[in-house]
Structure 1
């Protein structure tokens, strides 16, 4: 009985693939979108808009960034969880974008906006799919958008609550970002 309930739970609330040596969010082949959600600057009065939808090969994160009303960011974030990234050395993303703007991968140990986050910037260099591998040691610690420290101690990567993507480059305009997968290994 409990096995049937667990299977039903996984069908309704898919979780990232947990392989022994990796944490994989596969938005393409496995459509592992789960409970990712949009958090935009509207939480503080801004007017930016974005949405996420499953595409044939990826999740499409798209919208319009507005600087009106002190706005200026859009984000797509995973469900709250307990992700232990301390054993991993790299983050890999397969993506494409219609813009040369710089997005960020966010790793949140704590979710309140005023507490530090781990981030690294990335952007398209061509108009086709790209695979980018980033050492976790290259992430920086930031607080409310300002860099506090370069690099992170792997011990700090235990108990991560949320992972996500953000566009907060202080530029108005539309964007599209397709993400096939995000992998930590």
Structure 2
């Protein structure tokens, strides 16, 4: 099992340029700067408040770029997403829109711990994400080993095509209790959104992935805590 090694570091001003993540989509380039244009070709249905652009508060090195096979069980094949120091995790909060939510990354027993405090007045979200440009080819789902405080976290993903429309794909992390557990997230369960609005967009394309992350935007004030041991890209029968 490959653990996530995380070392906190300061995030440069260049990483803060126009980083767009709300509880909702972020279009991310290699510098977390969104240079794409929104078009009118995607139809929108409001399902959450529109959120302004977030601040990028913290970077940390961790694991997730090169892959290695994990033991297959039942008929599934999984590739563990491994360490990449040149593509660090970045904490993205709601500060740019006047929000006061806070998030931070630390390391405990070689696992990434994402903690902070959500303030719904002015934003109400905190997320951790990183660039990822390989590792999901031929996969149909993610598998994560994690432990949460039972709040409603979501996985977020972008691909190179969705960035052109500022689309991000989301799916809930369905956990049971607060103990360590393995959670599967099917790419078929992903929902396309632009700034908190569901949109009619093409399906997520794993082979074109550009960003992976976890976000908390459950509409509740208060402290939060999530620990992440590993993430794998899987295919085949569970």
- Settle same-fold status: TM greater than 0.5: yes
- How far the C-alpha of 1:77 sits from its partner, in A, is 0.6
Q: Is the 8 A contact 1:94 1:179 kept in 2?
A: yes
Partner of 2:159: 109
As a proportion of its length, which structure holds more helix?
1
Does 2:232 correspond to 1:183?
A: yes
* Over 4 Å off, 4+ runs: 12-15, 20-23
Does 2:131 correspond to 1:75?
A: no
Partner of 1:19: 68
Does 2:219 correspond to 1:170?
A: yes
Name the SS for the 2:96 alignment partner.
Answer: helix
Q: Is the 8 A contact 2:192 2:200 kept in 1?
A: yes
Partner of 2:145: 94
Structure 1: runs of 5 or more not aligned:
1-11, 27-31
Name the SS for the 2:208 alignment partner.
Answer: coil
For 1:58-81, what per-residue CA distance to the aligned partner results, in whole angstroms no more than 9, with x for missing partners? 21000000122x211100011x34
Structure 2: runs of 5 or more not aligned:
1-60, 70-76
TM-score by length of 1: 0.76
TM-score by length of 2: 0.60
As a proportion of its length, which structure holds more strand?
2
Listed as ranges, the matches of 1:119-158 within 5 Å are: 119-149=170-200, 153=203, 156-158=205-207
